[in-house]
């Protein structure tokens, strides 16, 4: 399971996104942004001694896609230059770690969902940082992704 999950918003680069809500309070009241360009930053810690081989998986079931979007969309996965744990209470788009490389573009659709995995070398106690972002779609409504995990049924994530 990730040691940290947070979102950043390229449309509002300095705002820290809280999990409890995607809106924020201003002096004039509660604001829900209409321009949402969120990316999800995820960090994992390699904890198994002697394994030195990690696997990153992205599995999205067709049922999940139906809940998210009727149109196909692409998720892009990036490796980030960050080897220490991030502080999600201060993370925003402007101060997020830089992208090192694009590691995948995963097509997601309501018929087959989407699945991708890759194994790579890692060291015990290494912190691995990734960004999951929607490829800029023609229709901005076509790529809406929510992240959640069920530890009782961890097949997707």
Q: Kind and range of the H or E element at 38?
A: strand 38-45
Interval 55-113: pLDDT, tens: 999 888 777 655 566 778 888 999 999 999 999 899 999 999 999 999 999 988 878 88
> Does 103 reside within a domain?
yes
Q: Which two tokens stand for residue 129?
A: 């940082």
Read off the pTM. Answer: 0.79
Domain coverage including residue 68: 4-142
d(C-alpha 73, C-alpha 139), whole Å: 10
Rounded-to-10 torsion of CA 58, 60, 61, 67:
160
Residue 50 has pLDDT above 80, yes or no: no
Kindly list the distances between the CA atom of residue 10 and the CA atoms of 16, 67, 111, in Å, as whole numbers in the listed order.
11, 24, 30
Top pLDDT among 37 and 39 is at 39
Region 41-61 average pLDDT: 85
Whichever domain contains 20, its CATH number is 2.60.120
Asked if residue 94 belongs to a domain, the reply is: yes
Task: Please report, for residues 61, 85, 112, 126, the alpha-carbon distance to residue 45 in angstroms, rounded to integers and kept in the order given.
Answer: 25, 9, 30, 6
In a domain, 86, yes or no: yes
Number of domains in the chain: 1
SS3 call for 56: strand
Does residue 115 belong to any structural domain of this protein?
A: yes
Rounded distance, CA 149 to CA 128, Å? 19
Please tell me which residue, 28 or 150, carries the higher pLDDT value: 150
Q: Is the dihedral of CA 53, 99, 16, 87 positive or negative?
A: positive
């Amino acid at each position: 399971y990730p040691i940290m999950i947070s979102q950043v918003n390229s449309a509002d680069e300095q705002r820290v996104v809280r999990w409890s809500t995607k809106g924020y309070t201003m002096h004039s009241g509660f604001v829900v942004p209409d321009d949402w360009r969120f990316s999800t930053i995820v960090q994992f810690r390699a904890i198994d001694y002697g394994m030195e081989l990690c696997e990153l998986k992205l599995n999205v079931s067709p049922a999940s896609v139906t809940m998210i979007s009727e149109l196909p969309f692409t998720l892009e996965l990036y490796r980030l230059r960050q080897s220490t744990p991030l502080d999600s209470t201060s993370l925003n788009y402007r101060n997020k770690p830089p992208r090192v490389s694009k590691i995948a573009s995963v097509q997601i659709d309501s018929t087959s969902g989407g699945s991708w995995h890759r194994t790579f070398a890692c060291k015990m106690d290494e912190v691995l940082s990734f960004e999951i972002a929607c490829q800029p779609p023609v229709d901005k409504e076509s790529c809406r992704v929510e992240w959640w995990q069920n530890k009782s049924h961890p097949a997707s994530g």
